[in-house]
Amino acid sequence: MKHLLDDINKAFENKIRLGIMSALMVNEALDFNSLKELLGVTDGNLASHLKTLEKAAYIKVSKQFIGRKPNTKYSATTSGKRAFEKHIKALENFLKNNRA
Amino acid sequence: MKHLLDDINKAFENKIRLGIMSALMVNEALDFNSLKELLGVTDGNLASHLKTLEKAAYIKVSKQFIGRKPNTKYSATTSGKRAFEKHIKALENFLKNNRA
């Protein structure tokens, strides 16, 4: 039996991860500080949730140098984008049913 | 600074808790087995999430006997309903922004 909440993805349940993915759907790549500012979270908290999404292969990390300063950027992978869209649809369906 | 995800409530992030609250918004009270069937979850899993919501005072438990059989019912508290509605609004706003 198919349940209403089946397509809600555990990887995106947490609101910080929801926010990270959302930001990376509309921005091709973002660095750590931009994400931090956007979401209003602490370094440790953000780092830990980025790691979770990276392990799930939903985001990828690229490191480069700007002059001598290291710059780390995060972007959504194709499978991450696909999974997030599915999750958003599941949330939308859930909300629709919830209002009915 | 106010962030888009501020009103998303950690108590409802988990999809089983989301489902429990949703079910208790439209049903005045439900017993354990009805919730279990509705959500398609195991006993242990459901019990643990019910406990979390009970600790937050978002649901209340009433025990009675039907003949000799114990019957435990769960219902949403007023503060639970209020908190859930706020959460749903936050999700709706988040999705709206996500689509824009």
Residue B99: per-residue pLDDT: 66
User: What average pLDDT does range B45-49 have in this prediction?
Assistant: 96
The model's pTM is 0.84
For residue A64, how far is the Cα from the chain centroid?
21
Q: Domain locations in chain B?
A: 11-99
- State residue A79's pLDDT score: 97
> Do the chains contact at B15 and A1, CB–CB below 8 Å?
no
- A96 in B contact zone (CB under 8 Å): no
Determine, for residues A15 and B10 on separate chains, whether the beta-carbon distance falls below 8 Å.
yes
Question: A68 CA to chain B: closest CA distance, Å?
Answer: 32
Contact B14 A13 (CB under 8 A): yes
Could you tell me whether strands A59-66 and B30-31 are parallel, antiparallel, or unpaired per DSSP bridges? unpaired
Give the architecture-level CATH label for domain B11-99: Orthogonal Bundle (1.10)
Task: Give residue-wise pLDDT tens across range B4-45.
Answer: 688 899 999 999 999 999 999 999 999 999 999 989 999 999
Which tops the pLDDT comparison, B25 or B1? B25
Q: Is B10 on the interface with A (CB under 8 A)?
A: yes
Q: What's the gap in Å between the CA of B42 and the closest CA on chain A? A: 13
- The pLDDT tens digits for B71-90 are 899 999 999 999 999 999 99
* B3 pLDDT above the threshold of 80: no
Query: What is the token pair recorded at A32?
Result: 């750590």
Residues 48-87 of A with CB under 8 A from B: none
Q: Which residue of B has its CA nearest to A26?
A: B98
HEC secondary structure over A13-45: CCHHHHHHHHHHHHCCCEEHHHHHHHHCCCHHH
| Low-confidence residues in chain A, pLDDT < 50 | none
Q: Count Cα atoms within 13 angstroms, Cβ side, for B82.
A: 5
